[in-house]
Amino acid sequence: MHVLLFDDPAIRPHLLPFTFTRPVTALRCGILTLAEKWQHRLGVARVGYLTESYLQAKYPAGDTQGPALVINGAICPDDLLVQQVQALAPGEALFDEQMLVAAHLADATQVAELIQEGFQKTRDVLEPVTAIQAVWHLFLRNGAEIRRDFDLLTRGRQSEPVGDKHTIVYAPENIFIEPGVKIRAAILNAENGPIYLGRNSQVHEGAIISGPLALCEGSHINAGAKMRGDNTVGPYSKVGGEVGNSILLGYSNKGHDGYLGNSVIGEWCNLGADTNTSNLKNNYAPVKIWSHSAGRFVNTGQQFCGLMMGDHSKCGINTMFNTGTVVGVGANIFGAGFPRTFIPSFSWGGAAGFETFKLPKVTEVAERVMARRQLQYDAVEQGIMQHVYDATAKDRVWERAAPAAPQPGVEL
């Protein structure tokens, strides 16, 4: 049976800028992406994605002939929910109040129409589900999801040994080390939550790690880093400085000193040395952040909320991000002072003002950056970025206010 994960149209817009460049279910919360969670728990080799047409070349639906389980890609599964989904008979659907959780279709070829029209037979979930419905939900639920994923991935398996006599370990039963991991003179404290070190990852000298923490495949925690808990470092990333309750989705670097808290950083991002994020307002009031779907700032209801940065965005050294800053896709931020708390996609500049980071220049940078990971910025990636560039033009208000300026001649 096919497994198809769909973007709920009531949820996807609230997860921009991250869903500009991926389906909802490709977001990482905990150790795994939401799609990987379902894949592991259902025991299937692959899943299909029902997402925006411009993303389908990278995230295909695959074969939709025959029976399929169609699952809301924003939902984080657990054992009980998976049992309910697997128990669905053809034609039945599972709901959490008004939200479609999953459906069993005898023929998935008309899945889009069926989702819109509804289902005659329905069941209700036994317990409320965990759904990622806002960008701040990613870091809020990260610690709990690390625990769930840790149990899922390590059940019945034996960890590799620490293998370094100068590393101090607390609660070793809560630490799991995959093959190829290298640790040197670090402190691993898993008393408050598990620590998962992915295949071929590295923990460098003097790093202090408090769980829950997920260090994914090929990633590095740099020398002297302070990882304060509830952190995920996605695949092939590098992290230094002080980090608390934050997620790097993958292929991104925060390699130097500086604080990152209650934040989510997309793929192919780079935070320059001594970049700092504020995650708490001076008056301790709830944080408001920019909503792409609402077109205005919305109240998160959270006292702590830092930086939300979309894919392929970068910032220079000593950048200061105010509380609740949202950065779109493909932005380049630099200069003194606090930039605005909403930085549109393909912006070039900082507190002194912005111009448009033209797509050919974005392409040059992306090609160089991805080549360092032996990956190509191919036609599929370029097509996604072109779509996002066009779709976000309305956010770059300076393009309407004045003729386009020539691209700044700053060395990248």
* pLDDT tens digits, one per residue of 298-314: 999 999 999 999 999 99
Strand partners for 194: none
Mean pLDDT of the chain: 94
Q: Is 251 helix (H, G, I), strand (E, B) or coil?
A: coil
* Cβ atoms 63, 95 nearer than 8 A: no
* Cβ atoms 160, 141 nearer than 8 A: no
pLDDT of the residue at 275: 98
pLDDT of the residue at 122: 85
The one-letter code for the residue type at 94 is L
Mean pLDDT, range 177-183, rounded to an integer? 98
C-alpha to C-alpha distance for 137 and 15, rounded to whole angstroms: 9
Q: pLDDT, tens digit, for every residue of 221-276?
A: 999 999 999 999 999 999 999 999 999 999 999 999 999 999 999 999 999 999 99
Joined together, the tokens standing for residue 232 give 């995920």
Mention every residue, 6+ apart, whose C-beta is less than 8 A from residue 312.
21, 266, 267, 268, 269, 329, 330, 362, 365, 366, 369, 385
In which element (H, E) is residue 188 found? strand 187-189
Mean pLDDT, range 174-202, rounded to an integer? 98
C-alpha to C-alpha distance for 263 and 232, rounded to whole angstroms: 11
Strand partners for 214: 196, 232
pLDDT at residue 142 greater than cutoff 70: yes
pTM for the full model?
Answer: 0.94
Relative orientation angle of helices 79-86 and 34-42, to the nearest 10 degrees: 60
Which of 31, 63, 28, 66 lies closest to 47, judged by CA? Answer: 63
pLDDT at residue 161 greater than cutoff 70: yes
Which residue's entry shows tokens 């930085």?
A: 343
- Residue 363 has a CB neighbour count (10 Å cut-off) of 17
pLDDT of the residue at 377: 97
* Cβ atoms 329, 347 nearer than 8 A: no
**DSSP 8-state secondary structure symbol assigned to residue 408:** P
Joined together, the tokens standing for residue 174 give 């809560």
CA Rg value for the chain: 21
* Cβ atoms 288, 299 nearer than 8 A: yes
* Cβ atoms 306, 278 nearer than 8 A: yes
pLDDT at residue 4 greater than cutoff 60: yes
C-alpha to C-alpha distance for 17 and 292, rounded to whole angstroms: 7
pLDDT at residue 411 greater than cutoff 50: no
pLDDT of the residue at 91: 85
C-alpha to C-alpha distance for 185 and 174, rounded to whole angstroms: 19
